[in-house]
Amino acid sequence: MSESGKKQLNEDGVVIKKRNSPLKNTEEEISIDALDRTKRGNGKVDSEQPASTNVETEKMSSPLKLLETLSEEEVKALLDAKGVIEEQVAALEEKNRLISEYEDLLKRKQAEFENFRKRVVKESEDYKKYAVAEMALDIITVIDNFERALEAAESSKDFNALHEGILMIEKQLKDLLEKKYEVKMIETVGKEFNPNLHDALMMEESEEYGVDTVVEDFQKGYIMHDRVIRSAKVKVAKAMSSTDQGNSNNNDENEEE
């Protein structure tokens, strides 16, 4: 075995290994335990300690040497700058904490809003589905009266009684719509034509009614509260032609004679 491969012991009985180095032919490595024992024994460090230790020591001593070259005012300025930086770091950390809290709060609010939206949609669908339930019950009551009138007419074979029963049911239904649901019939014949209430299907010359007056209704119209739910389909009077006007005047003169 070559001399470089042999193990050697120093005075403390620590194994010393040698290795080739590009900077030196040989460089000794001392274990951490041996270095600690050397420091405890005589307070001195072996002169053969690694070069990395010397570099670290130099690095640690460099700031101290730099501080020794600064004046008192410069040191105070550095300390003030350090305090400002620490305050800014603390403020930044606080802002980051608030941002995190606000992000969590936003996510919760978004989830709550989504749940609220779904609940509103469901309630709206339920309302549309069952909004006319009360009116349906009232109509069912009217249907019951119709059935009773028909049964009475079948047993008695009395047409007049059936007619009177149907009239009573019609009045009951109209009163129900007007008093409970505020559904009123639009007045037509003899009233001035109103495009917001009436739907003119045709016009006709009339001696009885003036121009733009409703003379006949083909279908009843209704208002619920203040909204037209169905316009009345009507016939409207128009101005008479000159020939018809002259014939009308002659007829009036003949009647006076």
Q: What is the mean pLDDT of residues 11-30?
A: 44
pLDDT score of 78: 82
With a CB cutoff of 8 Å and minimum separation 6, the contacts of 148 are: 165
Geometric angle at alpha carbon 174, from 172 and 175, rounded to 5°: 65
Query: 103-145, pLDDT tens digit by residue?
Result: 999 999 999 999 999 999 999 988 888 888 888 898 899 899 8
Mean pLDDT of the chain: 77
Q: Which helix (H) or strand (E) holds 154?
A: helix 133-156
**pLDDT at residue 38 tops 80:** no
With a CB cutoff of 8 Å and minimum separation 6, the contacts of 222 are: 177, 183, 184, 185, 186, 228, 229, 230
Residue located via tokens 């041996």: 34
**pLDDT at residue 68 tops 50:** yes
Q: What is the mean pLDDT of residues 145-157?
A: 85
pLDDT score of 155: 83
In the chain, % of residues over pLDDT 70: 67
pLDDT score of 15: 46
Between 80 and 56, where is the model more confident?
80
**Domains by residue range for the chain, with CATH:** 8-68 (no CATH), 183-257 (2.30.22.10)
Lowest mean pLDDT among 41-55, 77-91, 110-124, 154-168: 41-55
How sure is the predictor about 30, in pLDDT bands with cuts at 50, 70 and 90?
very low
**Does the predicted TM-score (pTM) go above 0.85?**
no
Query: 184-239, pLDDT tens digit by residue?
Result: 999 999 999 999 999 999 999 988 888 999 999 999 999 999 899 999 999 999 88
pLDDT score of 248: 54
How sure is the predictor about 154, in pLDDT bands with cuts at 50, 70 and 90?
confident
